[in-house]
Amino acid sequence: MKKDDKASISLKKVISVSIMLLLFMSISVMAVNSKVNTVKIILSNGYEMDVLTTKEKVSDILSENHVIVLPEESVIPDINSSISDNKTIRITTESNLATKTTEVVEESSDVTVESLLEENYNNVVEKLVVEQNVIPFETETKDVSTGKGSKKEVVKQKGVDGLSETTYKVKYQNDVEIEKTEVSTKVIQEPVKKIVEIKDVEVVSRATVNRADANQAAVAATAAQTASNSGNSLAAKAQGRTPSVVTLNASAYTASTCGKSPSSSGYGVTSSGARATAWCTLAAGKGYPIGTIMYIPYFANKPNGGWFVVQDRGGAISNNKVDIYMNTYNECISFGRRNLECYVYLP
């Protein structure tokens, strides 16, 4: 063989080796750049297969391994989504899934709700839920009668339900509650006991009534004179006039109980258009026109000396009831409801 022929053969060998090295390097680079995952595919008949793939989409992995999903079958995760972190694809039917769950429960008494949910790929959400519950008030009855003659029941204090607040930790599976655990309970508002007294029915003679009228008139005149001298404008208007004396069922209200928002322009404004004033404003029935003055001796030690003016109305206020405006909700609850003697000066 000539020397030139030997040189030509050596060159061809070098070129061939170089091309093979380039191809090998290209394949190595592709392998490095493509992440190879081991994925478990569980068929609906229970058969399991582990495959190596660089694909991420569930449909691509199934297609690559010649797995066909039948119409009655479903895929977890969804066939159009990417493979989940547990690198498992499950093909199943509803009956197959029910059977699988039953088998797991029978096999182990240590199975928890959470493990079943994880097995079935159901999402569990845990929330704190606060519930409010009514605390019914109690009724206390006191017999203060002599035991003779007719009796009557008099409500001395109206009962008011209390309110409690309980916090629960609740677990939901696909928006369905599966577990509920009480975390804490606290009382928001204590109930107010209803107090009822059993009394004798008093028989009042005409002479006694006349004396009572005279006494009431004297009380009203003295109160009006005293309050007027101290600068009370309502008492000054009533001075020298004879009032009618009635017993009205009195309750209390404040701006926050009127159903209006503090940001509302009508918040704290009465039906007369005037702004409500504590220990002065009254809500009464239509039998008492706006501007009617009332003196209530029970409140003689309050800021306005027990003198009030009707400025407001109310859906639940009839002619035998009055609602007294107070500063705070706690004052209203503390007062409750009671029957009070009222001296009425109509305008």
- What would you report as the CA-atom Rg of the chain, rounded to the nearest whole angstrom? 44
- Residues 209, 329 within the same domain: yes
Q: In whole angstroms, how far apart are CA 39 and each of 59, 115, 117, 208?
A: 13, 21, 21, 102
CA pair distance 253, 255, nearest whole angstrom: 7
- Residues 232, 328 within the same domain: yes
- Residues 340, 223 within the same domain: yes
Q: Look at residue 209 in the predicted model and tell me its pLDDT.
A: 44
**E strands, the chain, in order:** 37-42, 48-53, 74-76, 88-92, 124-135, 139-143, 151-157, 162-173, 176-189, 194-200, 244-253, 281-284, 293-295, 307-312, 321-325, 338-345
CATH of the domain at 133: 2.20.230.10
- Residues 231, 108 within the same domain: no
Mean pLDDT of 15-19: 77
Q: Look at residue 3 in the predicted model and tell me its pLDDT.
A: 54
15: in domain: no
- Residues 109, 191 within the same domain: no
Mean pLDDT of 194-212: 68
Task: Please identify which residue in the block is written with the tokens 């009534």.
Answer: 209
Give SS3 for 26.
Answer: helix
- Residue pLDDT, tens place only, 272-304: 999 999 999 999 999 999 999 999 999 988 888
Q: Look at residue 185 in the predicted model and tell me its pLDDT.
A: 93
> pLDDT above 90 covers what percent of the chain?
35
22: in domain: no
Q: Look at residue 326 in the predicted model and tell me its pLDDT.
A: 94
13: in domain: no
CATH of the domain at 217: 2.40.40.10
pLDDT grade for 104, boundaries at 50, 70 and 90: very low
Q: Look at residue 314 in the predicted model and tell me its pLDDT.
A: 85
* Residue 12 or 112, more confident: 12
**Terminal-residue alpha carbon distance, the chain:** 143
Q: Greatest CA separation found in the chain? A: 161
- Residues 115, 128 within the same domain: no
- Residues 208, 310 within the same domain: yes
24: in domain: no
- Residues 319, 219 within the same domain: yes
- Residues 88, 178 within the same domain: no
Q: Which domain holds residue 145?
A: 124-195
* Nearest Cα residue to 235 out of 295, 325, 310, 324: 295
CB 41 within 8 A of CB 60: no
Which domain-ending residue is among 119, 154, 176? 119
Q: Look at residue 198 in the predicted model and tell me its pLDDT.
A: 87
- Confidence check: pLDDT of 331 > 90: yes
Which domain-ending residue is among 132, 163, 195? 195
CA pair distance 222, 75, nearest whole angstrom: 92
Q: Look at residue 83 in the predicted model and tell me its pLDDT.
A: 86
* Residue 6 or 327, more confident: 327
The DSSP letter of residue 138 is P
25: in domain: no
- Residue pLDDT, tens place only, 113-170: 555 545 554 578 999 999 999 999 999 998 888 877 788 888 989 889 999 999 999 9
80: in domain: yes
Query: What average pLDDT does the structure give for the chain?
Result: 82
pLDDT grade for 95, boundaries at 50, 70 and 90: low
Q: Look at residue 102 in the predicted model and tell me its pLDDT.
A: 44
298: in domain: yes
Mean pLDDT of 307-320: 90
Task: Please identify which residue in the block is written with the tokens 């008949």.
Answer: 45
| pTM of the predicted model as reported, rounded to 2 decimal places | 0.40
Q: Look at residue 47 in the predicted model and tell me its pLDDT.
A: 86
* Residue 327 or 111, more confident: 327
The DSSP letter of residue 215 is H
CB 154 within 8 A of CB 199: yes
CB 294 within 8 A of CB 310: yes
CATH of the domain at 58: 3.10.20
- Residues 226, 339 within the same domain: yes
Q: Look at residue 294 in the predicted model and tell me its pLDDT.
A: 95
How many structural domains comprise the chain? 3
CB 308 within 8 A of CB 300: no
- Confidence check: pLDDT of 2 > 70: no
Which domain-ending residue is among 149, 170, 195? 195
CA 224, distance to chain mean position in Å, is: 49
Q: How many CB atoms lie within 10 A of CB 181?
A: 10
- Confidence check: pLDDT of 98 > 70: no
Q: Look at residue 195 in the predicted model and tell me its pLDDT.
A: 92
Find the helix or strand (DSSP H, E) in which 119 lies: helix 113-119
252: in domain: yes
- Residues 329, 298 within the same domain: yes
- Residues 54, 161 within the same domain: no
Q: In whole angstroms, how far apart are CA 64 and each of 53, 71, 85, 146?
A: 8, 19, 20, 99
- Confidence check: pLDDT of 190 > 60: yes
